[in-house]
Amino acid sequence: MLSARARTAESSAIRDLLRHAESPGVLSLAGGLPSAAMFPVDDVVRAANGVLRDPSTLQYGLSEGSTELRTIVAGPSGDPDRIVITTGSQQALDLLGRVLLDPGDDIVVPDPCYVGARQALGASGATLVGVPGDVDGLDTDRLADRLAAGLRPKAVYVVANFDNPSGAVLAPVRRRMLVALAERYGFIIIEDDPYGALRYAGTEIDDIGPGSDRVVRLRTVSKTIAPGLRVGWLVGPQWLVDAVVVAKQSVDLHTSTVTQAVAAHLLGQDGWLDGHLAELRPWYRDQRDALVEALTEKLPGAAFSVPDGGMFLWVRLPDVDTAGLLPSAIRSGMAFVPGSAFAVDRDLGELLRLSFATVDRSQMGGAVDRLARSLARAA
């Protein structure tokens, strides 16, 4: 009775396992949940009280999103008509899959790749072509080779800043090369940037192809304000934005006008976001440092780079099957995501992703102790 798409929807054994791991007593470094302790609750309450008094906040709204919010996120030099408000970035991925991809099309994704992107972009029936990366992000030389050999993707998906799961930042020279390849081979770059604002060290890098009509940018308040608002947006060329708006109307009419108004109220206050980020950044940096310290001390065999931002450490445990280790780790009272969950074509079985965002730093050492204990038992 189910459609072909529904029958082939990605099975999620690991997700099911991890779901049981989100129980009290388990220190989960698995999920990419921002810290609830840092949600700007008072400001959100004030914003809600401010906007809900206007009945239009509760009414149907435009499919492209509220004019107020689009104007604010466009900024003084941007064009609100090139923006669509989405129910988080996840919906932007789904909408782009719909309007860009047909079954049989190719789309390049990094290998490893954010699971939600794989699901949303794969739902179109397109083939996901994995291109590996390194600490400098997607390997654009490898991509160039594949293109020279005949690959003709409709789009290339990247998380250029503090990639999930790898933590990598796409190097400036690779950003420029990616745009050059997009222009030469006629593909769209889907640049997903949930973590860019969470930089703890180093200097900011220019966006991919500023001004290029080959780039569609995905933004969200999920990691900077709160994911429960489900407010994100995409910025792209007009032909693509127009198609996304038509699809958006069909999929949910529009994103909640209530949560859009709350986001607009906060983002529209001069300096509010900068002030909030000034609190978030050192807090997450300390979280990262606590996890790095715990790993260094308690798990000397673990190999990883320390990312300058984001939420994740991407850790190699040589000769360990991390997927096989997970049930034992959960029994020991901690959780992680095994590398295989992010794999497109590569064997990432020795890797695992640890989030430093969710668990309080005082418990980071305890979580790594439990991981070390389950490792010792497995050896």
Please give the residues from 226 up to 265 whose contact with a second copy meets the rule CB under 8 A. Answer: 226-230, 239-240, 243, 246-247, 249-259, 262
Stretch that binds a second copy, among 220-228, 266-274, 292-300, 313-321 (CB under 8 A): 220-228
Subset of 167-196 contacting a second copy (CB under 8 A): 186, 188
Strand partners, 314: 353
- Decide whether 138 or 225 has the Cβ nearer to a second copy: 225
The SS3 assignment for 168 reads coil
**Pick 10 or 345: Cβ nearer a second copy:** 10
Only one residue has tokens 């430093």, namely 356
Give the nearest distance from C-beta 32 to a second copy in angstroms: 8
Q: Is the CB of 37 or the CB of 376 nearer to a second copy?
A: 37
Residue 6's CB: how many other CB atoms inside 10 A? 9
- Please say which residue, 12 or 305, places its beta carbon nearer to a second copy: 12
Assess 214 for contact with a second copy (CB under 8 A): no
Sign of the dihedral defined by the CA atoms of residues 233, 113, 98, 145, in that order: positive
Among left, alpha and beta (phi > 0; psi -120 to 50; other), residue 48 is alpha
- Helix axes of 257-267 and 67-74: crossing angle, nearest 10 degrees: 40
Which stretch, 90-98, 287-295, 310-318, 345-353, contacts a second copy (CB under 8 A)?
Answer: 90-98
Whether the CA torsion 107, 222, 288, 324 is positive or negative: it is negative
Q: Which of residues 327-366 bind a second copy (CB under 8 A)?
A: none
Torsion, CA 246, CA 252, CA 257, CA 261, rounded to 10: -70
Indicate which single residue of 21, 29, 30, 44 sits in contact with a second copy (rule: CB under 8 A).
44
Pick the piece of the chain touching a second copy (CB under 8 A) from 48-56, 137-145, 281-289, 341-349. 48-56
| Binding residues for a second copy restricted to 100-119, rule: CB under 8 A | 100-102, 105, 116, 119
Listed in sequence order, the residues at least 6 apart from 93 whose beta carbon sits closer than 8 Å to its beta carbon are 116, 117, 120, 121, 157, 190, 192, 218
Q: Which is nearer to a second copy, 28 or 374 (CB)?
A: 28
